């Protein structure tokens, strides 16, 4: 189960449901700027594994800009952020399989060494981008290398891991309206 905590609460005291209930008790004026489905958001994100390794961080880079519900973030992860206000910082303690994708042993495959570009020397731990037969890009982590084949894990890199996710909300806004098609003599 995931839980969200503010920067003033210890991680073990506030669940995601409690955070959502607190946000629901805000006045109508205050809720205009709270994070909700369909609202544009800019945020910084940091994902740490249980051993403290920082797997992803935008805190020293450009923030993530998206609209809640547009598919940039998973719906499960978005649900832990709903109700946050600009300027707030929170920590989500969760299992990656809950927020990103379940771990599936069927996503581990042996590949021919010749399937790798010649400039890539596969070594365990290396993340490699692949083109699927349907033309989509996917990534995999090299697990094992033998003389003529390579074992690759195509699970989401956060699946199967305990995570601590730090989020700082920079801004929340109504999304830009879609331009309406013109009708009539002015069109």
pLDDT in tens, 129-183: 888 888 888 889 999 999 999 999 999 989 999 999 999 999 999 866 667 776 6
- 3-100+158-173: what CATH class? alpha beta
Quick one: pLDDT band at residue 187, thresholds 50, 70, 90? low
Q: What is the pLDDT of residue 167?
A: 97
Q: How does DSSP assign 70-114, residue by residue? A: SSSS-HHHHHTTTT--TT-EEEEEEEHHHHT----GGGEEEEEGG
What per-residue confidence (pLDDT) applies to 113? 92
The Cα–Cα gap between 177 and 152 comes to 43
The domain defined by 105-153 carries CATH number 3.40.50.300: no
Nearest 10 degrees: Cα torsion 43, 167, 84, 9: -160
pTM higher than 0.85: no
Q: Where in the chain is the domain with CATH 3.10.50.40?
A: 3-100+158-173
Higher confidence at residue 16 or residue 99? Answer: 99
In this prediction, residues 40-54 reach a mean pLDDT of 95
* pLDDT 10s digits, 76-104: 999 999 999 999 999 999 999 999 889 99
Q: Can you give the C-alpha Rg of the chain in angstroms?
A: 21
What does the pLDDT read at residue 63? Answer: 97
pLDDT confidence tier of residue 28, bands split at 50, 70 and 90: very low
Q: Specify burial of residue 148 (Cβ count, 10 A radius: 0-12, 13-18, 19+).
A: exposed
Residue ranges of the chain assigned to CATH 2.40.10.330: 105-153
pLDDT of residue 135: 86
């Amino acid at each position: 189960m995931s839980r969200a905590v503010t920067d003033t609460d210890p991680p073990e005291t506030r669940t995601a449901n409690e955070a959502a209930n607190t946000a629901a008790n805000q006045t109508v004026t205050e809720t205009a700027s709270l994070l909700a489905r369909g609202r544009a958001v800019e945020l910084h994100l940091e994902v740490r594994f249980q051993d403290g390794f920082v797997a992803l961080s935008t805190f020293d880079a450009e923030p993530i800009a998206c609209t809640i519900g547009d598919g940039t973030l998973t719906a499960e992860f978005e649900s832990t952020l709903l109700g946050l206000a600009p300027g707030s910082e929170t920590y989500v303690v969760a299992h990656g399989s809950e927020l990103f994708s379940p771990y599936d042993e069927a996503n581990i495959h042996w590949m021919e060494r010749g399937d790798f570009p010649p400039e890539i020397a596969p070594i365990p731990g290396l993340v490699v981008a692949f083109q699927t037969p349907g033309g989509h890009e996917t990534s995999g982590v090299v697990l094992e290398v033998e003389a003529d084949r390579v074992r690759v894990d195509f699970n989401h890199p956060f699946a199967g891991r305990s995570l601590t996710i730090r989020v700082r909300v920079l801004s929340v806004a109504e999304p830009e309206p879609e331009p309406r098609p013109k009708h009539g003599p002015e069109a």
